[in-house]
Structure 1
Amino acid sequence: MSCCAFTPSRCHIDLAALRRNFARLGEPGSIMPVVKSDAYGHGLLPVARALDGAGARRFAVGTVCEGVALREAGLGQTIVPLMGAISREDWQAAAAHDLTPLLTDFEDIEKAAACCPADRPFRVALKCETGMNRLGFSAEELPAALESLRRFPRLAPVLALSHLACADMPGETAYTQAQAERFASMCAVLREAFPDIARSLGNSAGALGLPESRYEACRPGLALYGGNPFAGTAWETRGTGLEWVMSVSSPVLQVRQLKAGQSVSYGRIFTAPQAMTVAVVAAGYATGFARALSNRIDLLINGRRVPQVGRVCMSMLMADVSSLPDVRTGDTAWILGGPAAPGQRPVSAQEMADELGTIPYEILCLMGSTNPRVYS
């Protein structure tokens, strides 16, 4: 069977940069790297294997299915599915593959107990609601949750975790501190019943800016892939030194000459103010380059930034390369990252996200899921 790819673009994943970011974030045993959503578009198994080689002892995934994939790939770390088990099949798979699923409500306790393995305790994690108001037991529910757990001695809570809602926002320090205090109080109650239970609160922002939130298992996500959670804030320097792991390239399909007054692409939203040279690049909104970026962002070609012009199409976009007389068909255009000439800088996921009024997580997930990945 032939391999059919709908785009010639490529998503380049630098696993050495990933490992350097992992090392930057602390001692391997204190980190639970987040590899949910196909490792934020970077590829679940290659990323997990690279981190395994770097000393990772735990992984946080999104779903039980992702956890099973890691087990079937031979990875033996503690694996925590952050969405918990959704169906009976999930609970059974979590138990069979020695995953550590979240218990987020009283029903979860009953469902987990019904799937306990016969030959060993079923290790589980308790989700504490401290201010995110998404999943988990509140402080008021905790005594009843502990009473329910006592009915099922084969359930073994080994981890308590919560999630910070705005640790990346300097203006919300009081809220973050209140969450941290609430979590500490809940963990004190849990440790009376389960003295060895590990704690996990800090995310990327917590790891870099709130040391007291690290506990036994800090859970960095964005920072692992090179994003600074404090970008654009007064705390930006707390996240310096990280390297973007993903870059995206696409070939130049054709180089065209426009006369003054000629338009390019759909809707005639760009008209040449004078004679100019335009490169047609094989990337578009089908491969994660948002149509809303039309006329709003640069690309990197031959090491230099050039402006994208005209409406972004499904699988093509255009760039003004009048300043680059040597651009030819077949040259490489970099949508994200890429080698920049001295004095130039590549386009980052953060820059693209800022232009769109979104977050770099979204850019990475989309680019990584729609462009074939290559690893180095």
Structure 2
Amino acid sequence: MKFQFFRFYALIVLAAALLVWSFNHIYSAVSQPTQSYQVDIDYFFKGFAVASDSSAASAAANQPELPLFRTVHNNSLALPEDIQSLLEQGNVIAVENDLKQTYYYKKAASSDMLTQFGPFDTVDKESSIAPYIIPLFYSSLACLLLLMMRPIFRDLQKLQQDAAEFGRKPQPMKRTVKESSNIYPLAHSFYAMSNKILNFIQMNKDLSRTISHEIRTPLARMKFMLEIISPNIKPSQKERLQSDISEIESLVSDYLSFAKVENETDTIHRAEYSIKQFLQDIHDKFSIYEEKTTIECRSDDVLVYFDKASLSIAVQNLLTNALRFSQNTISLDFQLDDNTCVLSVEDDGPGVGDNASQLMQPFSRKNVKEQNHKGFGLGLYIVRKVAIWHEGDFIISQSNKLGGAKMELRWPNQA
């Protein structure tokens, strides 16, 4: 990045220097008065008025003296050689004295005498463009900086769009930032990082397939062998082995769900569905548990944008988690609050206390002795990922209505 910085800095300095030099010459050209040999006829009328008016007031007025033709000797003027050369060639020259009066001279063709015409009072006429030089200079400088800074921010915007697109759907990225850009080292590092992330995702997928095949097959053989030897072992030993096998199966199943959530983000597709019907279908699936726990389902009858498959997994995970800890009642609610979807699951269990942030971490084992339950901390992590896919939030807090845990999903109602 040092090379890009010094290159950009040098470019700004050179461009600014060129701009200052150009405007300096323009300003000098328009600010210096040009000597003209054409005289306004009004100048003679003013001089004639002074000469013909004998009053003291008119004589004291600051009016031009009437110019006259006179004859003077060539030696009466001390002129530089180049001006004298012009005079010898028959050209008209202008000479200004200490009183800011201008006299015009022309040499006679066959003598050393000069014809003098004057005096003329010097009137500095301000150029019509001079007042606009300074504003024009600073405007040009601002435009120059804009033209030089615009490509940098344009490339940064492209890189931001690439990052957002990669976050939504990880895939090989097109290099939209050119090598000549000042931010190319940053873009190159980003593209290299995206390739590494894609390699990690592919390794995770391969590992998931390996676990699915290499671990489930030995587990099936273990179950078969356990059934064969079960008559020859104690019931407590059989129960212990079955518990260990079930725990391994649960871990494998949770890991596969975790890998699916991590890797299959390209299947997310949000569409408009009836949220009331969606939640009612999930409520019907959990109706078999209502002999022990009452599940109350309340929802606004509105159309909402969401991914049906992933949100279904999230809600089922929330209800499954609530069933583990609830005593009698679970509340499943949805409402649309200022175009923000709010879906909450509350229970009347022991609550979460200060462990809300830990519960959303993958593979964080939690052991609740009161419930005699062990888990691997993937269910709520999956819910959090679903919330992120929907550009929303997953919040865990204490329920004011039922006194237990409150799991809340929020996401904007947009496609």
Regarding TM over 0.5, the answer is no
The structure whose RCO (Cα within 8 Å, separation 6+) is larger is 1
Higher-Rg structure is: 2
TM-score by length of 1: 0.26
TM-score by length of 2: 0.24
